[in-house]
Amino acid sequence: MAYPPIKNPGPVRALALSGGGFLGLYTAVVLAGLEERIGEPLGRRFDLLAGTSIGGLLALALAYEVPMARLVTLFMEQGPAVFSSRELPQGALSRLVDLSRSVMGPKYSGKALRDALRNELGEQRLEDARHRVIVPAVDVRDCQTKVFKTPHAAASLGDGASSAVDVAMAACAAPAYFPSVRIGRRIYADGGLFAVAPDQLALHELEHFIGVPGEHVLMLSIGTAVAHYRPSGGVREDAGAVGWLSDGRLVLTMLSAQQQHVQAMLEDRLGSRYLRLDADWPASAGLGIDVATPAAIDLLGALAQKTLNNTDTALLQEFIG
């Protein structure tokens, strides 16, 4: 695929989508709202797309110009099959039972997710993508980081033959939640292990591999509604495995902390050329990375609409072109 030339000097626009499992419904609704506003595939407005975990799945969909409204529908229709229609467990016993689901193997098989992706992306390869995209993963056998890329630069030519579905599955293969994914001779897991927010990866890709000066970059970054996350049950200094793992506390802490840290660094690097969209974690919300209940669907959608309504239209226009 021949990609549109990058303007030099810029502005050069990048879109970075954070990870967060089913919380990515928030991201998808924001993206669908932006796409509705501009009246064309959103991927056409960016020179580089980057996404981690569920954000990687969404970035790939944008790269192939799958309508974001369609992704929102998939979350709502397939979410309970891919993740769980159960609410967060209440009480010590139910929490232990929930934790036991991932003791001997992944909590979910990943089959429903793969089937849904295959229906949208078919047999397409990374080299078939219409827009540049990068998606991080981890080679779990050798404990090495990996960034899957469309063949938009000399350093990324080797990934072109990789299946888009396989890359999306690898991106979403959160340890203990989904099985790792074999691509060629390697076995990959979720890139959120090192880059929940791929903003720095996107900036590095533009500067180092594509040759764009940082001062020409405009970056729109979208989170997964975990800003200012607080554990619903409070914290104890002597918490053990149950305390850290119950209600997804360990994962949600990692998501929120990494996204906050990356946001702070990119604001330092890019200043007003960086825009972060996210929602504050609602207290006692009953949300989780694998909670796909009707209440979670309604709440994430409402948070996304609030973000769209409260973000200055002229400012957004600057970042989406």
- To which residue do tokens 């080299």 refer? 127
Dihedrals phi, psi of 149, to nearest 5 degrees? -140, 145
Cβ atoms within 10 A of the Cβ of 123, count? Answer: 9
Dihedrals phi, psi of 232, to nearest 5 degrees? -65, -30
- To which residue do tokens 């990692």 refer? 254
In 3-state terms, what secondary structure has residue 299? helix
By annotation, the residues acting in catalysis are 53, 190
Dist CA 279 CA 303 (whole Å): 6
Cβ atoms within 10 A of the Cβ of 33, count? Answer: 20
Dist CA 260 CA 159 (whole Å): 30
- To which residue do tokens 């003791």 refer? 103
**Are the beta carbons of 291 and 86 closer than 8 angstroms?**
yes
Cα-Cα end-to-end distance for the chain:
22
**Are the beta carbons of 8 and 212 closer than 8 angstroms?**
yes
